[in-house]
Amino acid sequence: MNSANTIKSNSKIKRGGKIILILVLAVLLFVAAIRLPAVFTEGTKEVAFGPKLLYRTAHKSYEDVFKGDLILVNNSHAYNFDLGEKKYTVESKKNEYYRVKNDELSLNKITIRQFNALFKDFFKRTGLDNVTIISAYRDYEYQERLLDERISSSGYSAAIRWVAQPGYSEHHTGLAADIAVSDAEGNTSTFTGEDDYALIGENAWKYGFIRRYPENKTEITGINNEPWHYRYVGKPHAYILSHYDLCLEEYIEYIKQFTYPNSYLRVNIRGDVYQIYYVPASPEGKTAVSVPAFGSYDISGNNSDGFIVTVKR
């Protein structure tokens, strides 16, 4: 090939390259134009419901008020043990990215699944796999023992700021756990959520968890600041609680203003859109809950007087 031909074919290659580059840019711009509003719109807003024909009725029994990921259990709302909800040992379902203090500790299936995802993410970012679940589901008798021990060591008034009354502990739900940090010998130290471990507090909402007893809400929760106690509530709810600085007590009240057929709370989390609203429970018999005719939704009781519907759009 002589030099004139080489120059010619080089410029052909260059032109071809330019066309491909322009095409790639055009495709990227097109994709960005579709994606941009979804990617960058984030937050919550009150929205009026659409046409009624897009909704149908689901029926919930009164005892369903005491079930679900959003039940509020605190010093004035007891956990309903009669439901006999199934718990699973953490050991049987956990991944390799964290530890559990013993084989008996158990939680709800979804709580373990979401801890797996949270701690896997944490390990990928930090290389740390020593977060350890040290307390999980507790039955009535266990909570009673804990409180008695605390009363003998610290006295009654101090004890009840740390340990809930039996029947009123969030640990009864299987949706909450206490975590600690293990050293090489397997000794655990208190989880303060500082330094590298601050990432867990920052990321928890992405996996549906909240820090249930923050320092600035002790007057409302009735429990002291506990950086180690995490509770599963589901992603859109955890997003609102953490981004708008609400504790679960405040959130359960707040959400009651959004009811069918008036308005719902629309939550946009970087393109993941959810619709959330409240349905008061009928004091007797079944409650008619309006739900979307199509698509997926979840209905959780609030453990006192109604249901919270979460729709994934």
List interacting residues with Zn ion (CB under 5 A).
178, 229
- Give the separation between CA 279 and CA 281, rounded to whole angstroms: 6
- Residue 99 or 231 with smaller CB distance to Zn ion: 231
CB of 181 to Zn ion, least distance (A): 16
Longest alpha-carbon distance in the chain: 97
For residues 237, 238, 244 and 245, what is the CA-based torsion angle, rounded to 10 degrees?
130
CB of 252 to Zn ion, least distance (A): 19
CB of 113 to Zn ion, least distance (A): 20
Of 85, 219, 226, 249, the active-site residue reads 226
Q: Which residue is nearest to Zn ion (CB)?
A: 229
Active site residue 249: no
- Give the separation between CA 109 and CA 104, rounded to whole angstroms: 14
* 8-state DSSP, 68: S
- Per-residue b or e along 76-107, where b marks 16 or more CB atoms closer than 10 Å to that residue's CB: ebbbbeeeebebbbbbeebeebbbbbeeebbb
Compute the half-sphere exposure of residue 58: CA atoms within 13 Å on the CB side of its CA. 18
Tracing tokens 């709580």 back to the chain, one arrives at: 111
Total Cβ atoms within 10 A of residue 8:
12
- Residue 9 or 189 with smaller CB distance to Zn ion: 189
* 8-state DSSP, 200: H
Give ∠ CA 303-227-103 in degrees, rounded to 5. Answer: 75
CB of 80 to Zn ion, least distance (A): 19
**Contact of 300 with 312, CB cutoff 8 Å:** no
- Residue 171 or 235 with smaller CB distance to Zn ion: 171
- Give the separation between CA 176 and CA 229, rounded to whole angstroms: 7
Cα 256 from chain centroid? 19
CB of 132 to Zn ion, least distance (A): 14
- Residue 171 or 266 with smaller CB distance to Zn ion: 171
- Residue 248 or 309 with smaller CB distance to Zn ion: 248
Residues marked as catalytic:
226
